[in-house]
Amino acid sequence: MDPVVLIDVDRCVGCYMCQRACALAQCIEINEVTRFAEVVRPEDCTGCMACERACPYDCIVVLSDETQVPVRAKVTLSRVRRYSSKRLVTGDPGWTVKTGAEEMMREGVGSLIIMNGTKIITETDVLEAWIAGKQDKPLIAFSKDAVTIEGKATVEEALRIMLERGIGHLPVLERGKLAGIISLRDVLRASSVTSPILGESIIPINPREKIEKYAIQVPVVGRVTNRELYYLLKERGLKATVVKDRELIGLISIRDLTKALGTGRSLDDMIEPRWVNPVSSQEQISRAIAIMMEHNIRHLPVIHGEEIRMLSIKEIAKHAVWIKAM
């Protein structure tokens, strides 16, 4: 059964002690208008009785099965709403594709939510429109129906949806309204603090493993045009690849292509790669992750003997930090 929280509204004075005590679940709050304590998210209540103990006037009685507290706490802690980003980058359906690309570039994101969370347009959609020469058409024509998730769903459910659909972002709804967005990265971050539930498990990554285990073979490009690069990436199903120009080694990704569109470059202009110091494939994966975190990049060129390979954050996630049914 769900815990029942009885609040004596005759004596409750809205002193915030229960709100303070409910630090983990954050489900009891003082209503700003009525100034009463109120259970705002009953599904999150773990029945831990912290509020009952905190109330200076004994106004609260919690009826719960105490053996269920740890189980409920695990569920509460893995709710999507706790990890989703409140910062939403939304677009106007009437914008042109080019304006959309500018907005993505300015905000540093890979997708725009439009139509109150029902539609989403990603970098790939924007680039498709560009290649087809329709960068001045409205965004809405290239958007897709958004796959959304409820705020009270668990991050494991979010991860499952992302894997099944092969997508990286889910708009989060609270009571039918757009409330945030959760990305694959958010889910992975969440997985490091939650424990698996429902008989599934997360296999943690071993930080001492060699980079070579995760680095993938990618085509190394030289000086090519934006159009050539796009066709190459699309053909190989890649989000990024390695660039080698004489001694310089760098990266080029579809985000760079979106940026090119946003800054008004043409499809026939040369690509503008980001020059990065590569790492050796014999180094530990932890070092690579540290570099990627520090520079806020998703890919890294890897020197593997004579060859140049690429390490992508998605590969690490796909291969190592997965949830598997036991």
Residue 281: half-sphere exposure toward Cβ, Cα within 13 Å: 18
Helix (H, G, I), strand (E, B) or coil at 178: strand
State in angstroms the smallest separation of the CB of 195 from another protein.
Answer: 24
Half-sphere exposure of 145 (CA within 13 A, CB side): 3
Pick from 58, 136, 269, 307 the residue near another protein by CB under 8 A.
58
Residue 167 binds another protein, judged by CB under 8 A: no
Closest CA to 88 of 193, 188, 183: 183
Q: Between the CA of residue 184 and those of 114, 155, 166, 199, what are the distances in Å?
A: 20, 10, 10, 21
Site for another protein in 28-57 (CB under 8 A): 33-36, 56-57
Q: Work out the number of other CB atoms within 10 angstroms of the CB of residue 132.
A: 11
Instruction: Give whichever of 37 and 188 is closer to another protein, judged by the CB atom.
Output: 37
Find the part of the chain contacting another protein (CB under 8 A) among 13-21, 74-82, 110-118, 307-315.
13-21
- Determine if 8 is a binding residue for another protein (CB under 8 A): yes
Can you tell me whether residue 249 is helix, strand or coil?
Answer: strand
CB 174 → another protein: shortest distance, Å?
Answer: 18
Q: Which helix (H) or strand (E) holds 159?
A: helix 155-165
Choice from 40, 61, 105, 320 touching another protein (CB under 8 A) = 61
Min dist CB 153 to another protein, Å, is: 23
Closer Cβ to another protein, 64 or 191, answer by number: 64
Q: Considering only 6-14, 94-102, 156-164, 229-237, which stretch makes contact with another protein by CB under 8 A?
A: 6-14
Q: Which stretch binds another protein (CB under 8 A): 58-66, 70-78, 295-303, 315-323?
A: 58-66
Stretch that binds another protein, among 9-17, 90-98, 151-159, 256-264 (CB under 8 A): 9-17
CB-based contact 294:288 (threshold 8 Å): no
Please enumerate in sequence order all residues whose Cβ is within 8 A of that of 75, keeping only pairs 6 or more positions apart, or say none: 154, 197
Instruction: Locate 113 and state its tokens.
Output: 């939510």
Q: Is 59 in the site for another protein (CB under 8 A)?
A: yes
What is the bridge-based pairing of β-strands 274-275 and 248-253?
Answer: antiparallel
Q: Which of 4, 193, 248, 293 binds another protein (CB under 8 A)?
A: 4
DSSP letter, residue 21: H
Of 15 and 224, CB closest to another protein: 15
Q: How far is the CB of 199 from another protein (least distance, A)?
A: 21
- The footprint of another protein on this chain (CB under 8 A) covers a number of residues equal to 26
C-alpha distance across the termini of the chain, in Å: 27
- Cβ count within 10 A of residue 185: 16
**Residues at the site binding another protein, with contacts judged by CB under 8 A:** 1, 4, 6-11, 13-17, 20, 33-36, 56-59, 61, 63-65
